Amino acid sequence: MRRSSRWTENEGGSASLEFITAGMVLLVPVVYLILTMSSIQSASLAVEGAARQAARVFVQADDSDAAARGADNAIRFALADSGLASEHATVAIRCEPDPDDCLSRHGYVTVSISTSVPLPLTPPAVTVNQPLAVTLESSATQQVSRFRGAG
């Protein structure tokens, strides 16, 4: 049986070329998606852990100054562990029921942290006015012990 088309006569090597082309078109976006999701997940866990640890340290401190220093250290350590700069994080500490006395018995301390995570492999030409980033926020609440100051 004879083939009639001159294009079907020699197909040697075209399958590997098609596989490489289609593979690269599909593989590059998937790899970028994996890199992006990994960096966002890592930063999300860091921000959540920083808020939780800062709230714990805050309610266990002896006075308000030590509580603020301890919470700041906990936030810096947790964010640096994930490669995030704590200078770019926004931290808010809210105390209830008495905003003036955060360490009163049965009081609640809420630590809220917000930071931006830059997308990986973004060239500076794409980031015209501000960098391409994902904003992450987390908050944690801890209760001051009812036995505080009783010892």
Which pLDDT does position 75 carry in this prediction? 95
Domain range annotation of the chain: 15-143
Q: Picking from 5-19, 96-110, 128-142, which range would have the lowest pLDDT averaged per residue?
A: 5-19
Helices (H) and strands (E) in the chain, counts: 2, 3
Buried b (16+ CB within 10 A) or exposed e, 117-149: bebeeeeeeeeeeeeebeebebbbebebeeeee
19-42 pLDDT, tens digit per residue, is 888 888 888 899 999 999 999 999
Report which of 147, 64, 51 is spatially closest to residue 90, judged by C-alpha positions.
51
pTM: 0.79
- Residues of the chain with pLDDT > 70, as a percent, come to 88
Q: Which residues partner with 139 through β-bridges?
A: 112
